[in-house]
Structure 1
Amino acid sequence: MKQTVSLLFVGLLFFASCKKQEPEVHNLVDETVKTRIDSTLQSFVDMGDVAGTSALIFEKGKEVYYNAFGYADLKNKKPMERNTLVQIYSMTKPITGTALMTLYEEGKFQLDDPLEKYAPEFANMQVYTGYDSIAGEMILEPAKRPITIRDITRHTAGFSGRRDLPGLGEAIAEADALNRENTLADMAKKLSTVPLGYQPGEHWEYGISVDVQAYLVELLSGQPYAEYVQEHVLDPLKMNDTQYVVPESKRNRMSSAYRRSGDSLIQLPNEEAHAYNYKKWPLTAGGWGLTSTLDDYMRFAQMLVNKGTLEGVQILDSSTVKLMATNHLDESIEERSWLPNKGQVGFGIDFAVRLRPPASVEENNGVVGEFFWDGAATTLFWVDPVNDLTAVFFVQVLPHYGILHKKFRDAVYGPVTLEESPAE
């Protein structure tokens, strides 16, 4: 009996010691950080930068922060809430990239395949080099190489939106490729008639490339893009509040949109701001157009930080997520438009990818290895694999107001501190 009691006592001591040795979980987002985020988001509303704002953060697979401030509909004093639907604009792009990469995993294409292999209208593209004002025509040269699929995933295809370039600007306007009445096939046909703004692979210029990705999804899958992305990304992730066309039953949850004009905030009429999302149009854009909620987009972000899987459902292989979150911009590509404004970043497959810590206190804060993107109405999300952290930030203010992202990131990570140079 004594021996049995002794063994039991030793066993209890063993389990107690094991419990003591379990590592403590230290979260980046503690009570101090939560207070700092609350103060920052409230200040956006108090200062009149936005009508309403909300944010959701997960760390190590668990929710560590949520709050909302201000109004989704300022005029009618309707509060910003957790289930408020917003227009995510270019945060549609990573979803399109994910849909495309499910086909990559099926062996339907390789990144360095010429786009013309699948979309022959993009063969023999001409490149704009200037304008002959005497002859009244563009000066063109043949593309040095075909556009590749890698080009359309990293914005180096040569497609330009430069309306200020004589001749080219008029050609872009005349083609009107992104007219809502166009199908994706119409869009591609019209786009292919417009000269490229630069040689493929030589410049980074943001734009229509992701809409071409959506067209490529249709070609490779044989399905309309809207059906494919629903079946292979949105439905499996249970993103039930993410859609192009918002049904009438959900429209009372839509946030109004606002435009900054000097120090004033102008609330846009819903019939104008939501025209694309309140009707089914022929164009299902790959680069913009989706509406979503904090929780829905967080499910997408959680799938990415979990290397392609969420709640036992695999959307992508871990190696594919790694490929998407890897910089694909060679250092030789020096012309990068406004991308450097995002910080020390390169660009992967529909994500900016952080390569280095901030070089100045004015830059966006973040962790090397994170990948992220944002939207025209100043929405933002990022995936931080180092801290196993994902963040989604919603406002609805146009034009893009990047200082809010800087302040929100500083609230999460603390003010930027620069690494000291080693003493010489």
Structure 2
Amino acid sequence: MSQFGSEPVHDPADLGFDKARLARLKRWMQRYTDTGRWPGGAVLIARHGKLAYFDSAGYADIEAKRPWRRDLIARIWSMTKPVTAVALLMLYEEARLHLDDPVEAYLPEFKDMQLLIPGATSLDQTVPVKTKMTIHQLLTHTSGLSLFTGPGLLGEAYAKEALGLAKDYGGLDKMVRRIAELPLEWEPGTRWQYSAGSDVIGRIVEVVSGMPLDRYFATRIFEPLGMTDTGFSVPDSGISRFPPQYEVTAGGMALNEAPEVSAWRQGKVDTFCGGGGLVGTIDDYWRFAEMLRAGGELNGARILSSRTLRLAACNHLPGDLAALATEVWAETQFDGVGFGLLGSVVLDPAKAQISAQVGDYGWGGAAGTFFWVSPADDMVVVLFTQLLPSSAIPVRKELRALVHGALTGA
């Protein structure tokens, strides 16, 4: 029997939590709602595979006064990236590709890439790259690619064409070909910069598997894990559970319903963005994260081996992000934090100045969603909300402090 969705919350004390301290989480969420700084949200905490805490506060729809519910289908944006990485690692385990393979071996459009020269004033001011981009560099954001949130000429080009963002680009193959036509920001392997690498990884998954990314996700990951409410669009039966998305503006919170956001609701998605295209429920993402915590298996469904997962969850950079990252925003702080194949990895909590264990790993999404897996504490934490940008309020640091402040036992 599946333990998710209908599982009751276990006695937190049996799982090492102080119940009174866990109650701070509800007050914390409610305070943000009462002060008008976020619409609402939910927190789920599991330890040793059992649900220790779930609660929510505020609204899914402020105007309609609809409360935040556990079964809401939310935009998880960049929390899609770990799913895409797992999809590729499944092919890696089948020996159908290697991490150090050049990208051009699977996507010929990435042959003879160009590098934008320093101080360039147009995108045609380039020189040939010296090294071939690899799959590993795509996974670790060291490929030299940019993103629609990036700075300068390349960032503007990605944003103008909604590369890594559009749901109706005409297909992932078309979007990735356009990405390959643009120059690189950095020589591959020399800098860390948050990028559209996961979208390119998604296309490699399509080419190697022979399946569209949505079908690969559904048949190889979502169906085995019981993630029935997760996908690249919202089914008609789920529209009533799909809340509005809000953004912080100069005048406070406002609705954010851009065309690419509406595509989720209208079922017009034809471009399966591996970097940020999924929607789903908090319980579905718990299933995914729980599979990671449990060493690659959940309820008898083996997705990855524990050894591959250990490889994916460790730091793959020569140091922390601060030593290699460009000065652009990402879903993590840089000091004391490294990066693996699934997301950020805590290397030094003191340097990072966060409550964490060495080896904690996870990632977040643009609308404030966030998760981490703690191998040391045998714990999964998932936060859901729908507020752009994720940096609007410091909920991630505060959530870490609250969770660790309540975790008092073994």
TM-score (norm 2): 0.88
Structure 1 pair 141/38, CA: closer, same or farther in 2 (3 Å)? same
Which of 362, 368, 371 is 2:358 aligned to? 368
* Equivalence map 1:38-117=2 (5 Å): 38-117=26-105
Deviation at 1:266, TM superposition (A): 1.4
Name the count of aligned residue pairs.
Answer: 387
Where does residue 292 of structure 1 map in the other structure? 280
* Equivalence map 1:381-396=2 (5 Å): 381-396=371-386
Q: Give the aligned residue type for 1:112.
A: D
Where does residue 20 of structure 1 map in the other structure? none
| Correspondence 1:350 to 2:337 | no
Q: Give the aligned residue type for 1:369.
A: G
Deviation at 1:128, TM superposition (A): 0.7
Contact 2:312 2:341 in 1 (8 A): yes
Deviation at 1:278, TM superposition (A): 2.5
Distance 1:285 1:272 in 2: 11
Q: Give the aligned residue type for 1:414.
A: G
Q: Give the aligned residue type for 1:187.
A: M
Which of 136, 142, 152 is 1:165 aligned to? 152
Distance 2:348 2:257 in 1: 42
Deviation at 1:286, TM superposition (A): 0.4
Distance 2:103 2:39 in 1: 43
Deviation at 1:165, TM superposition (A): 2.9
Structure 1: gaps spanning 5 or more residues = 1-24, 416-424
Distance 1:355 1:129 in 2: 33
Contact 1:343 1:354 in 2 (8 A): no
* Equivalence map 1:273-422=2 (5 Å): 273-331=261-319, 334-337=324-327, 338=329, 341=333, 344-359=336-351, 363-400=353-390, 401-414=392-405
Structure 1 pair 364/378, CA: closer, same or farther in 2 (3 Å)? farther
**Largest Rg, 1 or 2:** 1
Deviation at 1:277, TM superposition (A): 4.0
Where does residue 13 of structure 1 map in the other structure? none
Where does residue 8 of structure 2 map in the other structure? none
SS in 1 for 2:205: helix
SS in 2 for 1:236: helix
Deviation at 1:173, TM superposition (A): 5.9
Contact 2:123 2:182 in 1 (8 A): no
Deviation at 1:408, TM superposition (A): 1.4
Deviation at 1:341, TM superposition (A): 1.8
Distance 1:257 1:152 in 2: 29
| Correspondence 1:144 to 2:144 | no
Contact 1:225 1:284 in 2 (8 A): yes
| Correspondence 1:252 to 2:204 | no
SS in 1 for 2:79: helix
Distance 1:353 1:193 in 2: 32
Deviation at 1:63, TM superposition (A): 0.6
Where does residue 130 of structure 1 map in the other structure? 118
Contact 2:263 2:269 in 1 (8 A): no
Distance 2:296 2:260 in 1: 37
Structure 1 pair 269/104, CA: closer, same or farther in 2 (3 Å)? closer
Distance 1:40 1:111 in 2: 42
Task: Give me the identity figure in percent.
Answer: 36
Structure 1 pair 169/39, CA: closer, same or farther in 2 (3 Å)? closer
Report Cα offsets for 1:300-358 as digits up to 9, x if no partner: 11100001011111010001111110111123962344456255211111311111113
Q: Give the aligned residue type for 1:377.
A: A
TM-score (norm 1): 0.85
Q: Give the aligned residue type for 2:399.
A: F
